[in-house]
Structure 1
């Protein structure tokens, strides 16, 4: 297993250059600009499946703000010098330097890597509008019932527990922060279980404090009690 993410190293893409995970110092800017990455082929329907995703975003949605956000996003993750050009509907892209360019042919690879490095999950899109509305309501209900926790709460937890100053945490990547935060949770859970067992508890399982934590698991995968029920609902609606 590669250690590039835990050490915050970037990954090179041929024709693009080194793509780097953002640091928390740039988190606010990244959060504002990166929402465009959530657009996937699933948002455009089967009739557009033969098209390039970047074509659909730039020309299909035709929103200048999206192009601006992509430009600024690439500046944060690849190079400080990124310029968008459009000579025609077929000749356009984001120039990085004389050797590197992001266009419709490599955008999907760049998008996938940026999302992976910064723990962004693909949005679930359902073909049927009623199913999509039901899924959105289920997600809202889950968020209301769940633990209210912000990104800032994770930062303060790691700062206090690990004794790290916020200026140091500012150099962390999202992956590093999530890794530390989840590991702290495992350590606290382990210590608590040991205390319970010393008090006579024989039922609580003792999980190792260093067991694997899957940071790429989509927290919304368990949104529905049974995926079979959702599948059945889709089938009943003719999807």
Structure 2
């Protein structure tokens, strides 16, 4: 298992160079562009001939905020500041003063790398509107039933339990923050079960979990969203 994410190491991407995870100090800005980053080819029905980046730029010609958003996303993930859009002689690309470039052929794969680095899972799009509606309802129901833990709550919890200063945490990646937050949460849970396990009358009914078990930060929120894959034929329904 790679330690790249936990040590916040960049990923080398051909043509671009080092791609870095977003740090907490930049998360608010990055989040403001997520709507652009989450768009994939399934959101552009009837246009299979053009690249995803072409489709986004086409929107950006009428709504410049899209192109500006892409430029800023590329600046954040490369930790530079000079990416500019360039469309000349049918060559569509974003380039900076360090000669790093992002073009049509690489954007979609780069987008997936960025989502993975930052623990982001793009919404699944279903061909069947009824299945889409059902999936949306189930996810909304799960969110309502789960504890309302905001990003700020994770930051303050990690700060309180690890005695770290906020100046340290603002340089954390999302992977590092969630790893530490959920590890603290698991240890608290382990301790409470271990205390009950010491009771001879309760021990036989209690299973002590692995202290350092896998946190599964990439858990798929769509897993088990339908009770029967075979009956619903989900694989054919997903675009």
Contact 1:96 1:102 in 2 (8 A): no
Q: Determine the C-alpha separation between the residues in 2 that align with 1:3 and 1:141.
A: 34
The answer to whether structure 1 residue 87 and structure 2 residue 88 are counterparts is yes
Structure 2 alignment gaps of length 5 or more: none
Structure 1, unmatched stretches of 5+, are none
Residue by residue, what CA displacement relative to the aligned partner does 1:20-51 show, whole Å, maximum 9, x if unpaired?
01110111001111221111122223x43453
After superposition, give the CA deviation of every residue in 1:72-99 in whole Å (9 maximum; x if it has no partner).
Answer: 11111112221111225x3111102454
Does the 8 Å contact 1:38/1:122 carry over to 2?
A: yes
Instruction: Please give the alpha-carbon distance, in whole angstroms, between the structure 2 residues aligned to 1:214 and 1:141.
Output: 21
Return the alpha-carbon distance in structure 2 between the equivalents of residues 144 and 2 of structure 1.
Answer: 34
Question: What are the equivalent positions in structure 2 for 1:110-189 lying under 5 Å apart?
Answer: 110-189=110-189
Distance 2:68 2:197 in 1: 57
Partner-residue secondary structure (3-state), 2:160: helix
3-state secondary structure, aligned to 1:48 = coil
Kindly tell me the number of residue pairs found equivalent between the two proteins: 234
The structural deviation recorded for 1:230 is: 4.0
Query: TM-score, with normalisation over the residues of structure 1?
Result: 0.89
Conserved in 2, the CA contact under 8 Å of 1:16 and 1:96? no
TM alignment of 1:12-27, pairs within 5 A: 12-27=12-27
Q: Which moved more, 1:54-63 or 1:96-105?
A: 54-63
* TM-score normalized with structure 2 length: 0.89
Task: Please name the residue that 1:208 is paired with.
Answer: 210
Is this contact kept in 2: 1:158–1:164, CA < 8 A? yes
Secondary structure in 2 matching 1:84: strand
Q: CA separation in 2, counterparts of 1:17 and 1:155?
A: 30
**Structure 1 vs Structure 2 CA RMSD:** 2.2
Distance 1:220 1:166 in 2: 34
Q: Does structure 2 retain, via aligned residues, the 8 Å contact 1:118–1:175?
A: yes
Q: CA deviation at 1:219?
A: 2.9
For residue 233 of structure 2, give the secondary structure of its aligned residue in structure 1. Answer: helix
